[in-house]
Amino acid sequence: MKQISVSIYLTPDQVEDYYRGRTRFVVAEAVDGRTVQLPISVLHKYISKAGIRGHFVVTTDENYKFKHIDSVQLIDSKGRQLDQTG
């Protein structure tokens, strides 16, 4: 299994585009600089009134086929929550 860390910030309007059928994928830059394309449907459980906001770990198989996504909080070595820039 491979893991890729990404931060995703979508506005409510961008999420609405999904529900209207205008958008099927989210493209994000991974922490390591790779470009990641995900079907927006895998983020469905993370949709709120604020859109989709958070840090996620995407798990894939060895061929980079999507397996699952998990929301994570960025915590430093002293237990403090970090902002998006660390």
Q: Is the pTM of this model over 0.85?
A: no
**Secondary structure of residue 43 in the 3-state scheme:** helix
Q: What is the pLDDT of residue 5?
A: 93
pLDDT in tens, 41-74: 999 999 999 999 999 999 999 998 999 999 998 6
What tens digit of pLDDT does each residue of 12-38 get? 999 999 889 898 999 999 999 999 999
CB 60 within 8 A of CB 67: yes
Structural domains present in the chain: 2-72 (2.40.50)
Structure token digits, residue 14: 């961008």
pLDDT of 23: 86
Q: Could you tell me the two tokens for 10?
A: 């979508």
Residue 19 DSSP SS3? helix
State how far the Cα of 34 lies from the Cα of 29, in Å rounded to an integer.
6
Here the tokens at position 57 are 């770990």
